[in-house]
Amino acid sequence: MKKRIMIVGPSHSGKSILANVLNDSARPLKKTQDVIYGKNTIDTPGSYIENAYMYKYLIATAQSASQILMLVDQSRLIEVYPPGFAKSFTCPVTGVITKIDLAPENVNLAIKQLKRIGVFEPYFWISLQDNTGVEALKNYLLGKQETFARN
């Protein structure tokens, strides 16, 4: 069974766009109501992290993931993740700060939020408007996938 990268984050943080990029896909973008399994990703609805009673579904879905990307939207720093939430998962968790072209003054707050939820560096700063940082993230994830496949 192929392991996929699970993408978690609040609504409108760029999960589906990032999933399209990681899947080399052009799937139409619409509000994700269900978990969507792509070629390389698991795109989760924002409601799964925005409602505490849905956490169990994220944790269960993560069982089929090789790693997790936790997204923080730099332009809208809403606190949706509970403290230490990254420790709920058995696979590696990587922090991704999206929309870096918007609200650059929030960069330190975004880092603080990732640390509070238990995500450790390296962090990846990306803009899906012009794909800034996307190649570095893809290379990092590819290296992680190869390491995972060897173990």
Domains and CATH numbers, the chain: 4-150 (3.40.50.300)
pLDDT, averaged across the chain: 88
- Cβ–Cβ < 8 Å for 88, 4: no
pLDDT in tens, 92-142: 999 999 999 999 899 999 999 999 999 999 999 999 889 899 999 999 997
Q: Which of 21-35, 45-59, 98-112 has the lowest mean pLDDT?
A: 21-35
Separation between Cα atoms, residue 114 and residue 139, nearest integer Å = 21
In the three-class reduction of DSSP (H, G, I as helix; E, B as strand; rest coil), residue 126 is classed as coil
Q: Both tokens of residue 9?
A: 């984050």
Q: What is the pLDDT of residues 77-95, one digit of tens each?
A: 888 999 999 999 999 999 9
Angle formed by the axes of helices 134-150 and 15-23, nearest 10°: 60
For the four alpha carbons of 110, 135, 43 and 117, in that order, the dihedral sign comes to: negative
State the DSSP string of 77-106: ----SPTTGGGG-SS-EEEEEE-TTS-GGG
- State the pTM of this model: 0.89
Rounded to whole angstroms, how far apart are CA atoms 102 and 4?
29
